[in-house]
Amino acid sequence: MNAEECAVMQNSPQKYFPKKDLREAWSNYTSDRLKKNRSKEKNTWQRAVNIASWVSLILCGILAVWGYQSGIFQSVETMQQFVNRFGMIGALIFVLIQIVQVVFPIIPGGISCLAGVLLFGAVPGFFYNYIGICAGSCIAFGIARSLGRPVLYKMFPGKMIEKYLTWTELKGRFLKLFTLAIFLPVAPDDFLCYLAGISKMTVRKFAIIILLGKPLAILLYSMGVYQLLQRAWALLGS
């Protein structure tokens, strides 16, 4: 149907449809247009997220090169000395970055967890990671609970959504699967927080799982990669 025919149909739809089928045909027509508009919005949002992810990775690379050339990244001690100059402001900025990267997952969570341990030390870094990730997870849950399923399709690939959406259809099992995924860093937990928001999970259960489950995942992420990085530095220095 070309544009001219569409205009005629909108002005005189009786010429195209019998009277008894007019309402159904018009409903299908407007529904198709709505789906096309939603598809365009989804593609635009996903492109923006992809661009933001690439920009973030490029900025991280530039920062890494600058830090290495300036001597800040020569060792863990030099990095911590640099960050300590900013006091609690540096810690607050880092927590805010952690919150943002959970709500808008454009930076891999493992990288930000590692950064917390390297910049602030094992115990403070773990503490700041925990605050930022838990806060971001609760915000993601709240966004999905308020806006519903469409927000998932705007922010995440359709294949990922369809893969994990079946979890919510398993009676009584989603809570167990979600808990296991949060305790062990083997699934896209940022996405799962949004998925939990559209499920029947209560806010109380979600908060308990996040507060109790995140410490182990953060520890495995940050300390595991930290040990590997320490060995790499030792090999490079020898």
Instruction: Give me the residue label for tokens 């100059």.
Output: 85
| Contact indicator for 218, 115 with CB cutoff of 8 Å | no
pTM of the model as a whole: 0.69
Q: How far apart are CA 134 and CA 215, in angstroms?
A: 10
pLDDT at 116 (0 to 100):
86
CB contact at 8 A, 105 and 160: no
**What is the identity of the amino acid at 223?**
M
HEC secondary structure over 89-132: HHHHHHHHHHHHHHHCCCCCHHHHHHHHHHHHCHHHHHHHHHHH
Report which DSSP code applies to 200.
Answer: S
pLDDT for res 34: 46
What pLDDT score does 129 carry? 92
The mean pLDDT values, 10 residues at a time, for the chain of 238 residues are: 53 53 53 52 61 66 68 70 84 92 80 83 88 95 93 86 83 84 80 92 94 85 67 63
